[in-house]
Amino acid sequence: MSRLPPIDPDALNAEQRVAYDEIVRVRGQVRGPFAIWLTSPELCERALALQDWFPRRGKLERRLLELMILVMARQATAQFAWFVHEPYALREGIAQVVVDAIRERRTPDFEKEDERLVYDIAHELDATRTLSDVTYRRGTDMLGAEAMVELVSAVGFYVMVAMTLNVFQAPVPGGKLPLA
């Protein structure tokens, strides 16, 4: 159960209503972190724009972005994030065996080196809040500087998402938790 009351669209102030309508336009519904961020409408609008930017305009391939999101969701046991992004990761080409290993907190046996790299970067950032010179060079050599900046920034953004979901106990649709 969420720590915040359910959203009553009729009780929103003008600024919240603008943000609410934009979330519905972009996402089709208001749930998860956006239902929480709506409490602070300007934060909500900015977070929506950034979350929308990563897959639509960023240089990092969507498949790799979704893999990173699963890694960060698993690290934080962010149930709602996993619920939403597991189907996207599979659709974008992340193998079921990779998804299952991440869910079970095992290091996957990657067939694709770029996926291994993104997994390693996300784990190292989560553990140390920085990257070793070796990991940094691997990342820039394989992804390039622009995609590396985006990847590191996306990891930070999804830490914020996970914290928001967990602290305010965003409910998972259907109530079944995907992570043990």
The model's pLDDT over 103-148, given as tens digits with 9 standing for 90+, comes to 999 999 999 999 999 999 999 999 999 999 999 999 999 999 999 9
Residue 87 lies in a domain: yes
Residue 107 lies in a domain: yes
Within this chain, do residues 89 and 75 fall inside the same structural domain, yes or no? yes
Within this chain, do residues 26 and 72 fall inside the same structural domain, yes or no? no
pLDDT in tens, 35-78: 999 999 999 999 999 999 999 999 999 999 999 999 999 999 99
The residue among 57, 76, 91 that closes a domain is 57
Within this chain, do residues 27 and 110 fall inside the same structural domain, yes or no? no
Closest CA to 82 of 59, 62, 65, 99: 99
Within this chain, do residues 128 and 161 fall inside the same structural domain, yes or no? yes
What residues contact residue 131 under an 8 Å CB cut-off, 6+ apart?
121, 124, 125, 139, 152
Within this chain, do residues 75 and 159 fall inside the same structural domain, yes or no? yes
Is residue 10 predicted with pLDDT exceeding 90? yes
Q: How far apart are the first and last CA of the chain?
A: 17
Q: What is the pLDDT of residue 114?
A: 98
Q: Residue 2: which pLDDT band, with cuts at 50, 70 and 90?
A: confident
The residue among 42, 57, 72 that closes a domain is 57
Type and span of the H or E element at 147: helix 145-167
The total number of structural domains in the chain stands at: 2
Within this chain, do residues 76 and 136 fall inside the same structural domain, yes or no? yes
Residue 174 lies in a domain: no
Residue 20 lies in a domain: yes
Pair 24, 30: CB distance under 8 Å: yes
Within this chain, do residues 151 and 85 fall inside the same structural domain, yes or no? yes
Within this chain, do residues 112 and 133 fall inside the same structural domain, yes or no? yes
Within this chain, do residues 42 and 83 fall inside the same structural domain, yes or no? no
Share of the chain above pLDDT 90, in %: 97
Residue 173 lies in a domain: no
Please state, in angstroms and rounded to a whole number, the distance separating the CA atoms of residues 121 and 8. 40
Within this chain, do residues 41 and 95 fall inside the same structural domain, yes or no? no
Within this chain, do residues 51 and 84 fall inside the same structural domain, yes or no? no
Give the pair of three-digit tokens for residue 97: 């065996």
Give the pair of three-digit tokens for residue 64: 């790799």
Q: Which residue range is the domain that position 98 belongs to? A: 62-166
